């Protein structure tokens, strides 16, 4: 009986500390699959984003988390603005960055973009798992880390709707 009670307590505690996690399949404007994004809350209180993307245009691209989980419009503006919290856009701005701001992604001539990024102001549970969801968005140009409200990164060229991953 003690073993059963101990097992039940262990399982309930394990479920209670399971970190929130979201994933997205990223597509371009033509609907071509470009890869995946996974974001998870870590025990330290920091979120970790893992990007595994391919078939991307060469260059430096602004990437952000956006406030609405909707990539249905052709220009991806249906994803809304950045997940901002109570912060301003950009790491070069006093009061920045937005909780959904990410560093620019450099894509080489082979079209691959892979990176892990820590997001110290983001909580998957509190910032991404709301009633209208959230999205990962890639822009045509680089984010200048300063211009308000979104870094002057140009058109949105890829999008993925983030959905909760159940464990």
Domain ranges of the chain: 19-164
* 19-164 classified as CATH 2.60.40.200: yes
More confident residue, 6 or 67: 67
Confidence of residue 14 (pLDDT cuts 50, 70, 90): very low
Examine the pLDDT at 97 and tell me if it is beyond 90.
no
pLDDT in the model for residue 76: 95
The 3-class SS string of the chain reads CHHHHHHHHHHHHHHHCCCCEEEEEEEECCCCEEEEEEEEECCCCCEEEEEEECCCCCEEECEEEECCCCCCCCCCHHHCCECCCCCCCCCCCCCCCCCCECCCEEECCCCCEEEEEEECCCCHHHHHCCCCCEEEEEECCCCCCCCCCCCCCCCEEEEEEEEECCC
Q: Which range, of 12-16, 120-124, 161-165, averages the lowest pLDDT? A: 12-16
By percentage, how much of the chain surpasses pLDDT 90? 57
């Amino acid at each position: 009986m003690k073993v059963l009670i101990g097992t039940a307590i262990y399982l309930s505690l394990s479920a209670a500390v399971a970190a929130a996690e979201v994933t997205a399949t990223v597509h371009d404007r033509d609907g071509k699959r470009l890869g995946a994004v996974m974001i998870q809350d870590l025990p330290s209180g920091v979120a970790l984003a893992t990007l595994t993307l391919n078939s991307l245009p060469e260059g430096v691209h602004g990437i952000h988390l956006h406030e609405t989980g909707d990539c249905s419009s052709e220009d991806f503006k249906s994803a809304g603005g950045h997940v901002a919290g109570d912060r301003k856009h950009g790491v070069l701005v006093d009061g920045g960055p937005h909780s959904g701001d990410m560093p620019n992604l450099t894509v080489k001539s082979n079209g691959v973009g892979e990176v892990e990024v820590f997001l110290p102001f983001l909580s998957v549970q509190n910032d991404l798992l709301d009633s209208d969801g959230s999205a990962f968005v890639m822009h045509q140009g680089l984010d200048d880390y300063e211009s308000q409200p979104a870094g002057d990164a140009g058109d949105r060229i890829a999008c993925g709707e983030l959905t909760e991953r159940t464990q």
